[in-house]
Structure 1
Amino acid sequence: ADIRELKRLDAATAVEDAYHGQGLMNRIAALPATTIAAIHAACAGGGCELALACDLRLAAERARIGLPETSIGMIPGWGGTVRTVRLLGGVVARRLILTGELLPAADALRIGLVDAVFPNDAFRQGVDGWIDRLLTRAPAARKTAKRLIRRLEAEDWDSAFRAEAHAFASCYASGEPAEGMAAFLDKRPAAWYAPRRS
């Protein structure tokens, strides 16, 4: 968010702003498609919260990533606090949020904040490579896995294991396991029915 806009908030309007931002980030996180944050430079505050709402985060070497809100007297309020704790654990969340530091891409990779780092001059090719690899994976299985992972992040163990079993079984309804296993045994690429990149 723009700091000038944030300056206009008070305790009452800040709650509404947070709910609005959380709703937006939750809609992004709930998209059935696999989402990728391609981070080529600074990714701070709301930008980092957006990246955390994505399934994968890919960065250029020059990128710096973090949640500096405490440096201006607030905390991440658009889901960044919750997502940082859930995705990276309390230790990492404390470091990122309490210090407000922007991490170099290599450090972000080391702690799991990003999934890959590419040289600056090969960033686009690196991102395209990940996209191409994702497109070779069964689309219904990816959607099922994404939905299940999101659910498991919020559930107790017994419920999580039940949900996993049902999601595993639902993959078979798509027909993708039959094609995937046949392709594996035939030593050929699977013929998924998802659109391919041009």
Structure 2
Amino acid sequence: MDFVKVEREGSVATLTIDRQDKLNAISPQVVEELGQSLLELESQPPTAIVVTGAGEKAFVAGADIAEMSQMSAVEAKRFAEIGHAAMALLDRSPVPTIAAVNGFALGGGCEIALACDMRIAADNAMFGFPEVGLGILPGMGGTQRLPRLIGSGLASELLFSARRIEAAEAKEMGLVNRVVAQGEALNAAQQLATEISKNGPLAVRYAKAAANKALDVDLVSGLEYEADQFALLFSTEDAAEGMGAFSEKRKPDFKGQ
């Protein structure tokens, strides 16, 4: 991998997009490496994944415009398809994913953050979709995930105006979960990931699957799915351990079984 680095600390994995000379701008290679890294993690899944950008200036400052401007329509379609595949791996990862947003998260960078389950932003973070100002539109899921997250009206404002917003406004909109001091986003995201890892890993996975299902189906179908996942967990050793530990007033020792 030239641009994506994977580190593990305990049961938490951190993926860092490292292309600082280009403010971590994405290209087909960067997106392919991100997708490949996520696929490799599936062989030995962590309990949570943190995604960030190297340095304090940028999470991902969008696409590499110099490279993208040379694409034909066919190449652009392929770039979008690679991006959709990588974002799907992030979005549908069986374990929780957290974006630690430091600095610029524009265009494709904002789309990577949107594909995560949660977003922790440094107070110097800047979000936006500049694509329409370039005569194009977001091509890695931004037009689909943003309205689902913050609603049609606010999403339309950001998508159509190309306006950039600071971390505080992003939190007010519901785009980010939490704003922390500059330089603390990665630490805060990793602490959240560690907190999540203390819970039953199967329960967390099933809860994520159920929450994702809510975005795809009607309420009745979603409730049926939830009930099935709820029941399945009662057949696991983790459920017996968790409820037994509660009764015995001790910390549970989950095995993921």
TM-score (norm 2): 0.70
Q: How does 1:2-17 map to 2 (within 5 A)?
A: 2-17=64-79
Q: Distance in 1 between matches of 2:133 and 2:250?
A: 53
* Alpha-carbon contact 2:171-2:177 (below 8 Å) kept: yes
Per-residue deviation at 1:116?
A: 1.0
**Correspondence for 2:113:** 51
Secondary structure of the 2:153 match is: helix
Distance 1:123 1:37, change over 3 A: closer
CA deviations over 1:38-93 (Å, ceiling 9, x no partner): 11111111111111111111111111112221121111111111111222221221
Q: Counting strand residues as a fraction of each chain, which structure ranks higher?
A: 2
**Correspondence for 2:234:** 172
Distance 1:182 1:92, change over 3 A: farther
Secondary structure of the 1:23 match is: helix
**Correspondence for 2:249:** 187
Per-residue deviation at 1:145?
A: 1.4
Distance 1:123 1:182, change over 3 A: same
Distance 1:100 1:189, change over 3 A: farther
Distance 1:86 1:132, change over 3 A: same
Distance 1:87 1:175, change over 3 A: farther
Q: Distance in 2 between matches of 1:23 and 1:124?
A: 25
> Is the aligned partner of 1:73 residue 2:170?
no
Aligned partner (choices 200, 203, 218) of residue 156 of structure 1: 218
Per-residue deviation at 1:30?
A: 1.7
How many residues end up aligned between the 2 structures?
194
**In structure 1, what residue type is equivalent to 2:199?**
R
Q: Distance in 2 between matches of 1:122 and 1:20?
A: 31
Instruction: Give the % identical residues.
Output: 35
Q: Distance in 2 between matches of 1:59 and 1:138?
A: 27
**Correspondence for 1:36:** 98
Query: Displaced runs of 4+ in structure 1, greater than 4 A?
Result: none
**Correspondence for 2:28:** none
**Correspondence for 2:157:** 95
**Correspondence for 2:179:** 117
Secondary structure of the 2:93 match is: coil
CA deviations over 1:84-105 (Å, ceiling 9, x no partner): 1222221221122112222111
**Correspondence for 2:200:** 138
Per-residue deviation at 1:124?
A: 4.0
Distance 1:124 1:14, change over 3 A: closer
- Aligned CA RMSD, in angstroms, stands at 1.8
Q: Distance in 1 between matches of 2:149 and 2:183?
A: 29
Structure 1: segments with no counterpart, 5+ residues: none
Per-residue deviation at 1:134?
A: 0.9
Structure 2: segments with no counterpart, 5+ residues: 1-62
Q: Distance in 1 between matches of 2:167 and 2:228?
A: 37
